[in-house]
Copies of this chain bind each other. A is one copy, B any other.
């Protein structure tokens, strides 16, 4: 029986259409919905709407449901529509009339938003940690290969002397900017919607601040209509940050695919990270990297789907919001998986120093030659044309010397990895403090 059952039967085809794969998707939300319901019940007790004893009984059963779900023993039937109905059904089944009281002063949408926010906090801790790990791996890779010259490229073609350290440091810093964006997305998510009911609050004196604090949110999402309007919006903000990470990964993946081609041979992706072909015995394909590249488009599509859904949607809850759940869960989980695979790859990447150095053909040094003429007093534009006119006379120079000359801040000879270090430490502290507090709060609620 659905929460909104009023005695008439829904057309079966429509029921399938509206339920869609919520029973499947909601498996991940059970735990978070239970936590939110415990907080809600406690608040109802605090406000005298439930007795303390009732709240405790509800909390006890909700804890049991969360534990069952963790153990794989809580199923959401198609007829239940979603986890919220399944949970309320179990509460009513076990606790009778008391179970029917838990929905006082809230709406299902209220619950969905709260559960998604909690799920997201948890998932964002994981993504934050994974991205920080990857940034640290790149920083380490940059440190290790700080002095190894590598041809720098523009337009994919050879450009100027660069280094392996510069390459890795660039992606490290890019990810650190992503973390800055991700942190803001995290903060926007970290507000409690509960008590907003079906968008307009309820005519009951409930204590929304209390619920928010019990669940460990940084703040209450104030306006109850905004709490509902922000469904989809905050998911999109988070996926927007994920898209930035995913784009960075796709570009790193493209670099590594190129640099490990036999024609380059700079890097080698170890066997255990390569898959084979069903027909070509010799193949060792960089499938992980190709999927990282492709999944950037999946994550962008998840983001765009949500924006497409919420654009021009009227205020207040609309069923359209349901359709944002799948891309949100899928997009965020995919980003985590991509980051982890990239970290694995960076850590296991084999560097072929000889091939890297072999690539330093004379043309790599053309700009250096022009600047040498500038040092002799030739205006830059004239020096440029002079070198361009006699490219065939260019000499290869010592790659190590060439990068040693690039001493400006952030240049190959002056990577200033300490800039990244400072950010890594800062983000690490932020993450640890947030994650610890959150886990303690949730464990306290769910009784672990």
Instruction: Assess the B230–A262 pair: CB atoms within 8 A.
Output: no
Q: 15 extra interchain contacts, Cβ-Cβ under 8 A, other than A5-B385, A103-B380, A209-B409? A: A14-B344, A98-B379, A101-B379, A154-B228, A155-B319, A156-B318, A159-B200, A159-B277, A171-B229, A172-B223, A173-B226, A200-B411, A233-B248, A251-B313, A281-B384
| CA A204 to CA B247, docked complex, whole Å | 32
| CA A209 to CA B416, docked complex, whole Å | 13
17 A-B interface contacts by CB (under 8 A):
A4-B278, A14-B272, A20-B291, A103-B380, A152-B316, A155-B316, A155-B319, A162-B200, A170-B226, A170-B315, A202-B371, A202-B411, A223-B415, A224-B412, A247-B311, A296-B311, A301-B304
Assuming the contacts A229-B251, A367-B281, asked whether A288 and B17 have C-beta atoms less than 8 A apart, the reply is: yes
A432 at the interface (CB under 8 A from B): no
Pick the contact of A154: B230, B285, B304 (CB < 8 A): B285
A26 at the interface (CB under 8 A from B): no
A106 and chain B: residue at smallest CB distance: B279
Cβ contacts under 8 Å, A14 to chain B: 272-273, 287-288, 341, 344
A327 at the interface (CB under 8 A from B): yes
Pick the contact of A290: B2, B10, B319 (CB < 8 A): B319
| CA A296 to CA B169, docked complex, whole Å | 30
Instruction: Assess the B387–A282 pair: CB atoms within 8 A.
Output: yes
Cβ contacts under 8 Å, A204 to chain B: 371, 405, 408
Pick the contact of A298: B100, B105, B172, B323 (CB < 8 A): B323
A134 at the interface (CB under 8 A from B): no
**B-contacting residues, A189-238, CB 8 Å:** 195-209, 220-230, 233, 236-237
Nearest CB in chain B: distance from A108 CB, A: 4
Cβ contacts under 8 Å, A198 to chain B: 154, 159-160, 277, 279-280, 367
A97 at the interface (CB under 8 A from B): yes
Assuming the contacts A4-B283, A229-B174, asked whether A262 and B300 have C-beta atoms less than 8 A apart, the reply is: no
Cβ contacts under 8 Å, A305 to chain B: 297-298, 300-301
Cβ contacts under 8 Å, A209 to chain B: 409
A374 at the interface (CB under 8 A from B): yes
| CA A302 to CA B200, docked complex, whole Å | 34
- Which residue among A220, A304, A384 has the maximum number of chain B CB atoms within 10 Å of its CB? A384
Pick the contact of A276: B2, B180, B322 (CB < 8 A): B2
**Count class of interface residues, chain A:** 35 or more
**B-contacting residues, A15-63, CB 8 Å:** 16-18, 20
Instruction: Assess the A162–B225 pair: CB atoms within 8 A.
Output: yes
A320 at the interface (CB under 8 A from B): yes
A425 at the interface (CB under 8 A from B): no
Instruction: Assess the B160–A3 pair: CB atoms within 8 A.
Output: no
Assuming the contacts A181-B237, A273-B14, A408-B195, asked whether A388 and B200 have C-beta atoms less than 8 A apart, the reply is: no
A448 at the interface (CB under 8 A from B): no
